[in-house]
Each structure stands twice: as structure tokens, then as C-alpha cells.
Structure 1
Amino acid sequence: MAQIYRRNNLWTYRVWLDHKHSKSKGGFKRRKDAQDAALELELKKKDGTLSEQSDISFAEYFKTWAETYKIGRLHSSTESKYRMAIRLVEDTFNDKKLKNIKTYDYQKMLDLYAKSHARTSTSLLNSYYRNAVRYAMNDGIISRDFTFGALISGNESKDSSLKFIEYDEAEKLKEVCIETGSFLTITRLEILFGLLTGCRYGEVTGLTWDCVDLVNRNVTIDKAYDYIKRTGFKKTKTTSSIRTISINDTLITMFKDLKEQQSKLFATQGFNNKLNFVFITKYHEIPSDNAVNKTLRKILTELDTKNKITFHGLRHTHASMLISQDVSINYISERLGHANISVTYNIYTHLLKTSREQENNKAMDVLNNL
């Protein structure tokens, strides 16, 4: 029940939202006006469209929402994107209330962001805000979705063909890493492993000897390592990233040689590899992504490859090699640890199109030769 009382010869109402929070407003000349305003709030409270957060700013709400539902629950790289989204809305809207954000204002922010970012990045950013706004609507803080109908623009992403090297170039890269890779040149062994498994760099650095099964010829990816902030092991990017990958003769030999070289040197150094790292330097450190990318670029420059890729490009190269040899897309998706097969299709559409055309030509040859 609302409270109606006089203050400084004017009428004021107070409506309790719950046992702790209330909303009040004064300045009414007539008691009836205060009663009518209070009744309106009571009705909103009854139908669930009144909230103690009704005056919260867009920036504050999004920050609270992201910290509640996203940050601390996702991969660090994804969480960093949410933090960027928080900074953007803080810089754009400052203390402007969530309920006062107009579709036009929101579109202007997206358009400004899109000028210096890829269309895919703009689309992802919009999905963050849209999700938060729907939560706000469900909580009765706002009644309209100002992200509805937002137009997505931005720069075109770089051609995906630039992200991997050709099959023959990959063969040469493999041979160089086999010939020159050792415990003393550990980044070359990481490159070899990445090329032949398609693992992400965090998964490579997080690989421990207990996850290497030389008898059954496989490795288990069940964690990653924070090679940027050096905070230790962390979860894989997604739950589907936890997987067991078959390895070939090249990697079996590499692991055997590496284990022997590593054990001998550590024994002379009196070092105990307590965390059981596979890819660790003679100085007992995990190589940085800068170090492995520098080595990779050096090798690719020497091989005069068409494209100079980063370590992540080895993942795309691994997939492209398997696709070119007609390996099932379902198997490739599982091997890469994608959340579902549609992710694999979306990433490698251009390669699958070529493969489909080849299959179509083979099918027509069969039919023509009947």
C-alpha cells in the first residue's frame, strides 16, 4: 500500500518495491495527484513492469549484467571482448539511463564502431548488447528493445585464404621442423605439433605428459595454459574443446625423442618438472606466442611461402589439408574441438565449396560413363 503524506505544504507518495527498496516522489499540489501517480506505480509493480533498477544507466546495467552472467564463466579471450563492450558503452553513453536510450542513439554507436572494425566484430558486439537488453526487458526495467532492427556494417574480413598455407608448403614446413626441431629448439616442435593436430596455442602450451598416450597413439586435450598472463592452467575455450586426438608416426617419434632429451637435461640441472609440461624450454619456461610466431615466420620466409601465417593459421592449414583429402567434415569438426559442425562449415565454406565442386565433377564423370 502506498504512503501519501505532506512535506513543505506539498504532497509526496512512497511505493515499496520490496521489503528493502522503495520509490518516492514529491511536489504534488493536490493529494489526489500524488495518489494517482502512486496508483500507476502500484499497477506497474503488480504486472511486473516496475523495478528498483528503473533509473539505472545503460553502462551500469550492462556492466553488472556482463559481470553476473558472462565474466568469470567464459574463456579469457571472450571475456576480454565483454570488457571492451563495457568500456564502449561507458564512453558512449556515460550516465544516460537505460530507459532513455533511443534506437537512433544505439545505431550511431554501432556505426561509429563499425568504421574501424570488421562486420563480424560489429555483429558480435550487437549480440552482447541485445542479449543484455532482453534481460532488462524480462526484469521489467524497460519495456522496449532499442537494439531491435539494428543495422550491422563494418569492414570486410580479410580473405580466409590468407590464413593458411598450401598443401605442398605444409609438407615442406613439416620436413623443416622434423629436421631442425629438438628440445633446444622447442618452438619448432610446437609448430610441428600444431600443424599435425590443429590445436590452439593455449592447448599446445597446456599439454602435459600424462595426456600423451604413445601406446594408443593419441593426446588428450583437457585444459589450456594462460601463456599471456602466466596465471597457470585454465579451461579449454569450450567444453567441446575437450577431446582426444589421434597422432601419426611423426608425432610419436617426436614425443619419444623430446621426452628423452628433456629428462636427461633436467636431470643434470636438478630440475623437477612438477607441472609435467611437454613443451617447456631448457630454461624451464613456456614459450610465448610471440616466440613461436617469430620462429614460424622465419621458416616460412626461408621457404618463400605465398602466405605468412601465425600459429593459429596452422589450425586452418590442418583443416584445409584434411578437407583437400576428402576427410569427413564431421571428423574434422571433432578433431578441432568445434562446438558443432556448423562452426566448421562457417569457417571453411570456401574450401568445402571447392571440395563439393570436385565431388560434383566426379559424380558427373560416373554418370556420363554409365
Structure 2
Amino acid sequence: MAQIFKRGNTWSYRVWIDHTHSKSKGGFKRKPDAIAAARELELKKAKKLLSEDEGISFAGYFQSWIEVYKLGRLDENTEIRYRSTAKMIKDTFDNTPIDEITSMQYQKMIDAYAKKHAKASTSRINGYIRKAIKYAMNDGLLNRDFTFGVIISGSAPKDASLKFLEQNEAADVKAFCLNNYSFKDIVYCQILFGLMTGCRYGEVCGLTWDCVDFKGKTITINKSYDYMRKTGFKKTKTASSVRTILIDHDLITMLKKLKMEQKEYYFEHRFTNPNKLVFLDKKKEIISNNGANYALKRILEEVGAKNIITFHGLRHTHASMLIGNNVSLDYIAERLGHSDTTITVKTYSHLLQESREREAAKSLKFLEGL
């Protein structure tokens, strides 16, 4: 039997699909309208025409959605974030039906998350959920988007500039690595490579010699490496991450020297490199991300850098240098492996704004001189 009840100035109904799931709808101006809609739903139930998901909880739908569309298709870190999002939804809403979630309730959940996370992280989680909600609406489980108009905030780092190096600091890091790299100090080769290519650490670790074109001065990124569990190669973060990019003379020189030293050392010690890994060290191991971060921190302290960043910050530094020198967004997106410029703009919006302001000032100066 359907429940008919009043909320404020409008009427709502609830029809139980089974012992644990129900479907409800509100916003009816007249009680008879709510009763008629409930009867129609009960008729569908009697004829067994209700879809499997009708009455499903928000947490249940999101979990099912990520299992079908996300898990097994993404890199490990991204999958962990999706699972964490599913847990947050379950902890917040428990078994509340998806069509009963209000915009206000959703905003409160996002605000609670934002208190302990940066704005970029909050935006990413909201993006995950919004994708799922679009599918739910397409499946007929919702007739409104309760994520619409959500306000994104976050407890941003004290100094956002710590995420990347200033150009003079990047130049100091480059000079240090050029003066100190060798096969036995291979981490300096990795840091130089990361700075000058913007590659993710997994892409750096997964680079193989067959993907280095010395003559054409290019590298091809077509795989990544599981540097956390050391299980071997894996797919790049996204399909668009597969790319071929130009590298400069300094990197070509470094890679040539590294290849020669690696070959000589392995021959002397009767080692093999069956996977032809570029950054395999003298112990036939891939340096951990923590090891690379520690080495980078030592370099930054050595050169007196104000900003102490992680290896991933080299990727942001690479992008910031290109943006600061007015390189086109299309090329930056292609070089970083972004699917389109939308991701580039979203990630580096603050840097692009600074670039726009410089260009505006330059334009004004030009026009005043006419």
C-alpha cells in the first residue's frame, strides 16, 4: 500500500518495491495527483514492469555504476579514489533512495569533504558523482539533477605556488642534474627527464629504450609502470596519455650517456635488462616514488629553492613554463597527454589567468603607442 504524505505545501508518495527498497516522488500540488502517480507505480509493480534499479539507494547505484563503468578500466590510484567516493556516499546517506536526495543534502556532503581536502580534490570527487547522476537520469531513475549548482570549496594548501617551481628554480634544478647525473646517480636522470618532459612518474619508470628515437629527438609514451607494487608494465592513465613528444638536446645527450653506461655496467656484472627499461638502476631496480621525491627535496635544498615540491610537481612546473612562454594550449595538452584543452585549462586556470593578464597589459601598451 502506497504512503501519501505532505511535505510543506506539496504532496508526496512512497511505494515499497520490496522489503528494503522504496520509490518516492514529491512536488505534487494536489493530493489526488500524488495518489494517481502512486497507483500508476503500483500497477507497474503488479505487472512486474519495474526496472531492477527502481528504488535503489544512492550508495547502491553509485557502487553498481563504478563496478560496471570504472573498476578494471582505470589506473589503480584513480580506482582507489572512486572506491573512497563510494564509501563516503554510503557513510553519508546509507540506504536513502537515490531519488530522495536533495540538493541541500548533497551540498552538505560536499562541504564536509571540502573541509579536509583541497578544492581540486573536492572538484574531482564532485565530477565523479555528477557522471554517475547523468547515467541515473538517463536510466529513468531521476527526473532532476541534485548535483546541479553545487558550490565547490576546499581547504587549499597554504601556498598554492608550492605545487610547482618558479622558472629560475627550475633552471637551477636542471643545471644541478646536468652537472651530476650518471648511471650510478640515475635518479638525477629521472628528475631531469621529468622536468623537461612533464611525464608522470609511472610514465618515466615505464620508458623503454625502443621508445627513444635519438635521430628524431623524440620519446614515445605508450605504457606506464607499477612502481608502487613493482608488478610490471600497465596501461597509461588514459588513452590520450599515449603520445610522442620532442625532447631537447640536453635530454638526448643525457639519454645517450645513460644508455652507454648502463650497457657497460650490466655487461661487466653479467646483468640483463629484458624489458629494456631506461631508468633501471645499478641494482636492476626501479627507484620508488618516495626515493625520487627525497632526492628532489635534497636538490631543491641544495640550490636554495623556496618551493619544495614532489616529483609530480615537475609536471606542473613543465606546464607552467610552457604557459609562461605563451605556448599554445593545444600543444601543451598534447604534450601532457590530456584528452583536450578543457583538462589543461581546469588544472592550470590560475597560471592561465596570470598569462592573460600579462598579455592584456602588453596589448594595452601596444595600443597606447599607436
Partner of residue 73, structure 2: 73
Distance in 2 between residues matched to 1:200 and 1:90, nearest whole Å: 32
Partner of residue 224, structure 1: 224
Asked if the contact 1:51/1:139 (under 8 Å) is kept, the reply is no
Question: What is the DSSP-based 3-state SS (H/G/I as helix, E as strand, rest coil) of the residue aligned with 2:168?
Answer: helix
Partner of residue 237, structure 2: 237
Question: What is the DSSP-based 3-state SS (H/G/I as helix, E as strand, rest coil) of the residue aligned with 2:191?
Answer: helix
Partner of residue 41, structure 1: 42
Q: Which moved more, 1:353-362 or 1:39-48?
A: 39-48
The amino acid of 1:265's aligned partner reads Y
Asked if the contact 1:208/1:275 (under 8 Å) is kept, the reply is yes
Judged with a 3 Å threshold, the aligned counterparts in structure 2 of structure 1 residues 139 and 341 are, in CA distance, closer, same or farther, namely closer
**Aligned-pair CA distance for 1:41:** 3.0
**Aligned-pair CA distance for 1:192:** 0.6
**Aligned-pair CA distance for 1:219:** 0.5
The amino acid of 2:43's aligned partner reads E
Distance in 1 between residues matched to 2:367 and 2:72, nearest whole Å: 56
**Aligned-pair CA distance for 1:143:** 5.1
Question: What is the DSSP-based 3-state SS (H/G/I as helix, E as strand, rest coil) of the residue aligned with 1:184?
Answer: coil
Judged with a 3 Å threshold, the aligned counterparts in structure 2 of structure 1 residues 216 and 116 are, in CA distance, closer, same or farther, namely same
Asked if the contact 1:54/1:99 (under 8 Å) is kept, the reply is no
Asked if the contact 1:120/1:157 (under 8 Å) is kept, the reply is no
Partner of residue 127, structure 1: 127
**Aligned-pair CA distance for 1:86:** 1.4
Judged with a 3 Å threshold, the aligned counterparts in structure 2 of structure 1 residues 142 and 173 are, in CA distance, closer, same or farther, namely closer
TM-score by length of 2: 0.81
**Aligned-pair CA distance for 1:130:** 3.3
Partner of residue 302, structure 1: 302
Deviation track 1:71-113 (CA, whole Å, cap 9, x = no partner) reads 1122322211101011112222334444554545434333322
The amino acid of 2:171's aligned partner reads E
The amino acid of 2:124's aligned partner reads L
Deviation track 1:115-135 (CA, whole Å, cap 9, x = no partner) reads 212233333323333332343
Partner of residue 10, structure 1: none
Distance in 2 between residues matched to 1:300 and 1:146, nearest whole Å: 46
Give the length in aligned residue pairs.
338
Asked if the contact 1:117/1:155 (under 8 Å) is kept, the reply is yes
**Larger-gyration structure (1/2):** 1
Partner of residue 193, structure 1: 193
Partner of residue 332, structure 2: 332
Partner of residue 253, structure 1: 253
Distance in 2 between residues matched to 1:365 and 1:108, nearest whole Å: 47
**Aligned-pair CA distance for 1:55:** 4.3
Partner of residue 281, structure 1: 281
Determine if the alignment matches structure 1 residue 266 to structure 2 residue 247. no
Distance in 2 between residues matched to 1:104 and 1:366, nearest whole Å: 50
Unaligned runs of 5+ in 2: 1-16, 21-36
Judged with a 3 Å threshold, the aligned counterparts in structure 2 of structure 1 residues 65 and 369 are, in CA distance, closer, same or farther, namely closer
The amino acid of 1:301's aligned partner reads E
**Aligned-pair CA distance for 1:290:** 0.3
TM-score by length of 1: 0.81
Deviation track 1:134-173 (CA, whole Å, cap 9, x = no partner) reads 4334334455544444444432355542222222222221
Distance in 1 between residues matched to 2:275 and 2:74, nearest whole Å: 24
Q: How does 1:306-325 map to 2 (within 5 A)?
A: 306-325=306-325
The amino acid of 1:242's aligned partner reads V
Superposed CA RMSD in Å reads 3.0
Judged with a 3 Å threshold, the aligned counterparts in structure 2 of structure 1 residues 358 and 233 are, in CA distance, closer, same or farther, namely same
**Aligned-pair CA distance for 1:51:** 1.8
Distance in 1 between residues matched to 2:183 and 2:109, nearest whole Å: 50
Judged with a 3 Å threshold, the aligned counterparts in structure 2 of structure 1 residues 173 and 121 are, in CA distance, closer, same or farther, namely closer
Deviation track 1:256-294 (CA, whole Å, cap 9, x = no partner) reads 111111111111222221111000111111111100110
